[in-house]
Structure 1
Amino acid sequence: MLRPFLSAVLGCLLLVLSAPLVRAEDTPASLHVRNHTHMELLSIRFSTTRVESFARLDLPPDGEDTLERPGGVQDLRLDFGLVLWNFPHIDLDRLQGITACREHDAPCLLLHGSRGEETHCAGTVRSLLPADGRPVCALTSFRPGMKMDDACALLEKNLLTDENGAVLTSLGFAGLVWAARLTPGQGPVRSAVLEHLELRQTLTTDHLRALLSTLYAQGYSLWQAEFPGMDFNFTEMTTFDEERRRQILQQGVELMFSAGTGEASIMLAPRALLPALLDAEDPKEDVQLFTVTLRPASSTLLVDIASYTAELQDEGER
Structure 2
Amino acid sequence: MSRPDHPPGLDPVRLRDLLERERPGLLQGELSARLIEGGRSNLTYHVTDGVGRWVVRRPPLGHVLATAHDMRREHRVISALHPTAVPVPAPVLFCEDEEVLGAPFYVMEFVAGTPYRTAEQLAPLGPGRTREAVLGLVDTLVELHALDPEAIALGDFGRPEGFLERQLRRWGKQLAASRSRELPGIDELHAALGARLPDSPAPAVVHGDYRLDNVLIGDDDRIKAVLDWEMSTLGDPLTDLGLLVMYSTPHGLPGSPVSTTAEAAGHPAPSELVERYAALSGRDVSAVSWYTAFAWFKLAVILEGIHYRYTLGQTVGGGFDRIGDLVPYFIEQGLTTLQEG
Using the size of structure 1 for normalisation, the TM-score is 0.29
Name the structure where helix makes up a greater proportion of residues.
Answer: 2
Q: Which one has a larger percent strand, Structure 1 or Structure 2?
A: 1
TM-score by length of 2: 0.28
Q: Pick 1 or 2: higher relative contact order, CA cutoff 8 A, min separation 6.
A: 2
Find the structure with the greater CA-based Rg. 1
